[in-house]
Amino acid sequence: MSVFPFEAVVGQDDAKLALRIAAIDPRIGGVLLRGEKGSAKTTLARGFAALLGDVPFVELPLGATEDRVVGSLDTRAALLGGEMRFHPGLLAAADGGVLYVDEVNLLADHLVDVLLDVAVSGVNVVERDGVSHRHPSRFVLVGSMNPEEGELRPQLLDRFGLCVEVRAPAKVEDRVESVRRRLAFDAAGELRTDDVSGMRALPDTGAVLADDVLEAASRLSLQVGAEGLRADLVLSRAASAYAALDRRDKTDVEDLRRVARLVLAHRSRRGPFDPPVLSSEELERALHAAFDDTDAGNVGAEPDRALTGGQPRRTQTPPSEPGASSRGRAVGDVPAGASESVSVLSTVRAVAARRAEDPDARLEVEDLRSTVRTSPRTRTVVVCVDLSGSMGAPERAAAASGTVLGLLGDAYQRRDRVALVGFRGSGAEVLVTPTSSIEVARNRLDRLMTGGETPLAEGIETALRIATAVPSEDDVLLAVVTDGRATGTPDAFDRALETSASVRRAGVRALVLDCESGGRPLGLAAVIAQAMGAACVRAADLAPDHMTTVIRAHAG
């Protein structure tokens, strides 16, 4: 399979340098490429392996088991036949080449530990119940990740030898050159790295793409805030194909207008609760800014603020964390099935128990035991805060931000996740989708708007929707910061009570932080808590440290 040349990637000088350094001395500990989706991280990794010559390039899938990665020992064969068999894993396959892990931040922590250990030592040691096997495994470890999908634990991040921020080019001319090179490579199946500038953008199918079309595609992608370079590339390809359908041999800017909605609708969405389709009005504004603005050279430096509600939008809910690890805490043992690994110590204990009654008893298949292990459960905390115009709204907003960041401060210890819902005006908004990344939370908590009515029912309903979407095997806590007041409609409080009761019926653990202040207390927050079947804790001072401590205690 042809690989896009390493040197043909536009820019990314730091990433290229880091990869070359790691190739000289793999003991440095690997290279971590951090950046948004579509920023050529995987292209760099593949091109780097090809640059090294005829060496293995092994990609580690996220769902890989520990045995698939490090290899396995057939203890069943050793116990029954006296022969120890080793089945090589991906670390053996990567020996002498490059081991690439896309989305390494979503890989189970213990596997990241193993990869880093072997990358530095050059030796893979497989141990099972006191039996071990060693083999050489010298490779350059390259990991990539999108930090908005969750961070690596700090101790793992620190163990990567080199780390580079990889971003798609921000200048239109650089993006155009990137697209031009990719199209030329796809059309010819190769690309000369000694002369990659000024080449013709000729896709393998469709009409010829002129420079003005490529530039307009990049301006439009930047205008709607599309991340990476995929939008630029797909826009160009789609416009070319559309022109070919119209029996034309050259593409023009009007072709981009026709295909823009098909290409950009889903790429302008930043979160699961954002509208899934770009509205006609928003698209027209973007098209006008990208194609008709007389100062086109400056268009695209930032996304159109009108399209993003005054702030650049960010990306999505991180996927669920990996499941229980085979290195979890041992809680017992069971008879080993045909496909399960065998625990030597548990098997020996089983045989010893039989020999206590029959000294001549021999090892039988029925004696083989497999260890049962368990790992800590993931915990999700959904914080729901009143941001209406009632007394103390700015303090509640600041407290909510500090509490979310405080909860994420120890999220790395258990890969916990935190979400934030704010309610004000006529409805509720998901401000932070469930995440374990402090960086994601900070980006989304820069400015919390306050004011308006108090739609308490809508806030609880939105938070409950997030809580019930958490996998059933994980723990979840819904924490509501409110004084219990509900306004906007005559039946606002009754609807809030009804929604609160649905929290109890759904079996979701809840906590109400009563932030009522001033005058004679009404005790409405306690009524809401009672309807939820939740504890009610006074939080009148709204100190983030205090609220964080209370939520942690109730989250378990």
Q: List active site positions.
A: 230
Amino acid at 28: I
Residues contacting residue 551 through CB under 8 Å, at least 6 positions apart: 381, 383, 403, 407, 477, 479, 511, 513
Rounded CA separation 325/109 (Å): 9
SS3 175: helix
Helix (H) / strand (E) element for 255: namely: helix 253-264
Q: Is 372 exposed, middle or buried (0-12, 13-18, 19+ CB in 10 A)?
A: middle
Beta-bridge mates of residue 134: 125
Can you read off the two tokens belonging to residue 484?
A: 């219990």
Calculate the alpha carbon distances from 24 to 21, 152, 161 in Å: 5, 26, 13
Calculate the alpha carbon distances from 231 to 104, 154, 268 in Å: 24, 32, 10
Rounded CA separation 314/303 (Å): 11
CA dihedral defined by 119, 123, 128, 129, rounded to 10 degrees?
-110
Q: Cβ–Cβ contacts within 10 Å for residue 357, how many?
A: 7
SS3 162: strand
Pick left, alpha or beta for residue 84 (phi over 0 → left; psi -120 to 50 → alpha; otherwise beta). Answer: beta
Calculate the alpha carbon distances from 40 to 46, 152, 319, 324, 421 in Å: 10, 20, 21, 32, 34
Can you read off the two tokens belonging to residue 164?
A: 């580079």
DSSP 400-446: HHHHHHHHHTTHHHHT-EEEEEEEETTEEEEEEEEES-HHHHHHH-S
For residues 322 and 107, the answer to whether their CB atoms sit within 8 Å is: yes
